[in-house]
Structure 1
């Protein structure tokens, strides 16, 4: 499976009772696909995987998989701290039709590189579908070392890594170490999409594409056609949103931005709270910058 292009790290829509909002989920999916994304990535950091129960994760994934209906691949986050629980959830996601799984490194108690190799190999053996490693050291407390990724890339169904370290050196080294394997390196840092592609990454798993879908897609498409000036301009243009996202706890600002743009994805789950009125005004200014009309009912 060639993992490539702009894959949206989709938010999980909730209603006013903080329950999964099926209608808004379908609305967002269809907006993303019609805007040209190459895949949907659910239950990641911006998808609040850490806030959902296992039953909720399976129910949400089923809604997404059914609505996408094979139009693009669906990548499902099944990572956690317990290898046993990750295997159980991974099997369930495979059974309901996930195209691939994303597995974050265990967190809270930081495993050694040897332990994380055992963890990933055990998960990979339990399913037949592709697995993407997910490296996000600032959230998990550990960085997947190059030698670890090189070792895991030898496993038949470990086919890629999403690197959200924010370090180009990581991306570069992962690409170099796995060049002889059937393995894809993807940027998980939206500020580095173009630079990662230029180094040999095959795409990006981008949260900003929940809102600025066409802009993210244009970075990739213009890169493919060799129009680096246009790709660079699109990359730089993401910064206004990225600066605004820093005004609150993930994913509160992104969800409010999408909501104000017209898709009622609801708030983040508590303890993450809604942005205050001053921040909402800054979000509206950001939307105005991009020419996105603000839904005043939200």
Structure 2
């Protein structure tokens, strides 16, 4: 069973013409997060900009993350694609480099039928001997994974859970009802809904804000598990200051700039076409960092 705070780590880039991968920054950030107490590192999530990396870069970066983590916590890796063939190829290569679990986003740009979604996930699951986590993020794919599809996929031996980033608590409760009836787990992917999700029985969060605020997110997880509701509410509400700042730019430009301004790691910019933050936005990021005593 997955528990605690899992960080979907940003992918650091150099400020060179190619915006090449910055491995020293990735190692520094990985060590910072594990020292802060996160329960897992997740490469190639949305904040990890998987959508602008080549397959070769995805394998190379994830291989380095596996090396940097060195079995201290589980390593999760994103292996979804628009085509089943590409997702299988990526999943099998991820398995070879030693990740502990795969997260698989549903195909984006198109809107597959229920039958097609089931086939997509079942074929990927059959190609590897690794736990598979479904990834529901309708704001990026254009649709929710239907409850009927998730219920059917939960019967597969190595499809073990779903990350729900919909922010829809009614949908989350329906997913959680599947988890209660099967060997299956829901992981919350909406940082503002962590407390709500734990109330419904969820016990793990894949939280992008934990890149910058791992101690806060870990403390929130502990407070919720220990039924310290007042403390949990205080911590949950505190995250809203960062979440408001993140809206000042295209994902993940503000988060990456905040990590740099806080001197946590020189993670560089988001890849183009996403542009760097302006001096005016930097001033607002610094104000946010001062709220958390990070500047």
TM-score strictly above 0.5: yes
Match of 2:276 in 1: 274
Pairwise CA distance, 1:177: 2.1
For the 8 Å contact 1:3–1:160, the answer to whether it is kept is: no
Counterpart secondary structure, 1:106: coil
Match of 1:41 in 2: 42
Match of 1:10 in 2: 9
Name segments (4+ residues, structure 1) moved above 2 Å.
Answer: none
Distance in 2 (CA, whole Å) between partners of 1:117 and 1:197 is: 28
Distance in 2 (CA, whole Å) between partners of 1:139 and 1:188 is: 13
Pairwise CA distance, 1:50: 0.3
TM-score calculated relative to the size of structure 1: 0.97
Pairwise CA distance, 1:28: 0.2
Distance in 1 (CA, whole Å) between partners of 2:219 and 2:229 is: 11
Distance in 2 (CA, whole Å) between partners of 1:29 and 1:98 is: 15
For the 8 Å contact 1:7–1:204, the answer to whether it is kept is: yes
Distance in 2 (CA, whole Å) between partners of 1:104 and 1:157 is: 16
For the 8 Å contact 2:178–2:184, the answer to whether it is kept is: no
1:285 has 2:287 as partner: yes
Match of 1:165 in 2: 166
Match of 2:250 in 1: 249
Give structure 1 stretches of 5+ with no counterpart. Answer: 294-298
Matching of residues 39-118 of structure 1 within 5 Å: 39-118=40-119
Counterpart secondary structure, 1:238: helix
1:194 has 2:198 as partner: no
Corresponding pairs, count: 292
Match of 1:217 in 2: 218
1:100-135 CA-to-partner distances (Å, cap 9, x unmatched) read: 000000011111121111000000000001000000
Match of 1:121 in 2: 122
Counterpart secondary structure, 2:161: strand
Counterpart secondary structure, 1:162: strand
Distance in 1 (CA, whole Å) between partners of 2:192 and 2:30 is: 23
Match of 1:23 in 2: 24
Pairwise CA distance, 1:178: 2.7
Counterpart secondary structure, 1:179: helix
TM-score calculated relative to the size of structure 2: 0.98
